[in-house]
Structure 1
Amino acid sequence: MAGCTTQETADATQLTQAERRLTEREVFLMASDILAVSGLANTLKVEETMDVFNAAAYLQDGERWIGFNPLWVLQFKDLPTGERWPLYAVVAHEIGHHLLGHTVVPGGSRPATELEADTYAGFVLHALGADLAQATALWQGFSRKGSDTHPPRALRLSAVEQGWHGSAGRAGLALPGDTGAPQADAASIRQRPGAPVGDLQGAHEVPAETRSPDLDRPDLSARAICAPLPKGGPRGRLCASSASDAQQVARLTDDNRRNAWTEQDPGPGIGTRLVFDFTTRTSPRRLTVVNGDNSDEKSFQRHARLETLTLRGSNGHTRSVVVRDNRREQTWTLAGFEGVNWIEVTVDSVIAGRRYEVLAVSRLRID
């Protein structure tokens, strides 16, 4: 195995089904975010294993794998953005081993290859929106002296910092977190060549020569209900494939997080679509979600809640998002959706409510 970031092995402990919700799928989507920074599709295989302390990269049956310790990953469940960067750091480090060819060379971990993977991880962490302190947090707890297979801490920190500085100007994605979580600086948001830098809170037009060809606008059928987007962000409308009226659709984008939109079709809401239809070509910066019926804890638990979403832009860019099952505001910065006419949000999976099958969402904004 290449790249087990520390040299320990965890003891096996039984995980509940609810705890496993955090693991394989979320780590796979995390790897997709990391590879997107390099313009690569995610073809990695992901599995839980108690044979490593946190994670490792290896080849198996001719395929590239990331093995991770589910107990180590579990500590990051529901933490705010600034405390989850070490998890992204570990996954980025292991992906670096694959991309740099370390896993095809026999012999396992070596100081030189560990430093190369650290540099790649630093590059990725900046591109995902981490500041330098957040990017180096994982390595601060490593051995000061190192070992035969892993270099000393000072060299590893230097490698991460080198990669972080090498990624300047390429930031795009950020982990979901609380309202007060640090955001990427507006000047560092990844854009197409020649695109002007806009306010992080708003949106800007993209020059015609840099725009991608548009896909056909999604067909929501005659039953779709639309509401204008609120002032202060992109101009346009939000259309829902399932809603009782326009006022309810507007609840998704207003400032009152205690009023929820609920889907009206039979079933738990899987396949429900929401389309942000912009008046002019727009480069939105951020997705914001408040999950469930947030009027109180009892209502939150009774209704179905979001689990995973897929975003698709008119320029063909797509991204999957895992939504945490809590009542806090969660945010993701959006890279790759520059110069779009619309963004379609599809509900891929939900968490069942204790009493009602109806899906509820208190906020879902793109601005």
Structure 2
Amino acid sequence: MKLSRRTLIGAAGISVIGIGTPGVVSAQSWRGNFGMMPRFKNARSVKPPNPRAEIAMNLITDAVGIERTIKLYSAHITKTRIAGFATTLNGTRYIVYDRAKVPWPETITPWTSVFLMAHEVGHHVAVHNFRKDIQKIRLELEADRFAGFALSRLGATEAQATYYYRGNGPETITHPSSLASTASARAGWKLGERMKRREQS
């Protein structure tokens, strides 16, 4: 089953990956020309993304009303506990995700993987790569809130939109605790739900 708007909204399945931060690809499944692979710090074996990852990215950007200008790649991320990151190189915005940690199964909608993509899109939307004036923890919470909002717009339930940070991971120098991230994602999801109710009234 292809990841499409219909499967994204209709499926209830959840796949599991660890806490993180910031096949053959058909021409119809992704945008762009994957010639020479760019090089990223802490990423090896950079390759084109899974086609379902590309579809999810397109759905996320459509759901929040922004033009898709972010290039997506998969890789082996060498930094431990990092499932993906957002970066800007020479004026081009990128998201790189770890192929081993971010699955794209064909039979269910992988909401945890979609959440990670939305989180990284949130970093780009809020231009976090250029923000040096506030704590990294606050930037992560802002990206979590954006991801919760995006998942609401895509039809995720509250449980699906907040499942990514399950558990009780402690706060670190750069990242909030799992509980704080979950609360921020929930706040974004609730905002999305309020907006949908207004649109329907």
Structure 2 Cα separation of the partners of residues 59 and 108 of structure 1: 19
Q: 1:166 aligns with which of 183, 186, 191?
A: 191
> What corresponds to 1:139 in structure 2?
165
For the pair 1:28 / 2:42, whether they are aligned, the reply is no
- SS where residue 114 of structure 1 aligns? helix
Cα offsets for 1:262-286 (capped at 9, x unmatched): xxxxxxxxxxxxxxxxxxxxxxxxx
Query: For this pair of structures, how many residues does the alignment match?
Result: 159
> What corresponds to 1:115 in structure 2?
141
Q: 1:151 aligns with which of 176, 179, 185?
A: 176
Structure with greater strand percent: 1
- SS where residue 65 of structure 1 aligns? strand
For the pair 1:104 / 2:126, whether they are aligned, the reply is no
> What corresponds to 1:80 in structure 2?
108
Q: Is the 8 A contact 1:118 1:156 kept in 2?
A: yes
Cα offsets for 1:164-190 (capped at 9, x unmatched): 11011556xxxxxxxxxxxxxxxx6x9
Larger radius of gyration: 1
Q: State the one-letter code of the partner of 2:123.
A: H
Gaps of 5+ in 1: 8-16, 172-187, 195-367
Structure 1 Cα separation of the partners of residues 106 and 53 of structure 2: 14
Aligned-pair distance for 1:109? 7.9
Structure 1 Cα separation of the partners of residues 70 and 142 of structure 2: 20
> What corresponds to 2:34 in structure 1?
none
> What corresponds to 1:206 in structure 2?
none
- SS where residue 65 of structure 2 aligns? coil
> What corresponds to 2:45 in structure 1?
none
Q: Is the 8 A contact 2:64 2:153 kept in 1?
A: no
Structure 2 Cα separation of the partners of residues 92 and 46 of structure 1: 12
Aligned-pair distance for 1:72? 2.1
Q: State the one-letter code of the partner of 1:23.
A: P
Q: State the one-letter code of the partner of 1:80.
A: I
TM-score by length of 1: 0.39
Q: Is the 8 A contact 1:49 1:68 kept in 2?
A: yes
Q: State the one-letter code of the partner of 2:171.
A: G
Aligned-pair distance for 1:137? 0.8
Structure 2 Cα separation of the partners of residues 39 and 98 of structure 1: 14
- SS where residue 91 of structure 1 aligns? helix
Aligned-pair distance for 1:142? 5.9
Structure 2 Cα separation of the partners of residues 108 and 154 of structure 1: 21
TM-score by length of 2: 0.68
Q: State the one-letter code of the partner of 1:153.
A: S
Q: Is the 8 A contact 2:128 2:139 kept in 1?
A: yes
Aligned-pair distance for 1:26? 2.8
Structure 1 pair 108–32 and aligned structure 2 pair: CA distance change class (3 A): farther
Q: Is the 8 A contact 2:168 2:179 kept in 1?
A: no
- SS where residue 94 of structure 2 aligns? strand
- SS where residue 66 of structure 1 aligns? strand
Aligned-pair distance for 1:29? 2.3
Aligned-pair distance for 1:36? 1.1
> What corresponds to 1:350 in structure 2?
none
> What corresponds to 1:287 in structure 2?
none
> What corresponds to 2:20 in structure 1?
6
Cα offsets for 1:191-232 (capped at 9, x unmatched): 6x87xxxxxxxxxxxxxxxxxxxxxxxxxxxxxxxxxxxxxx
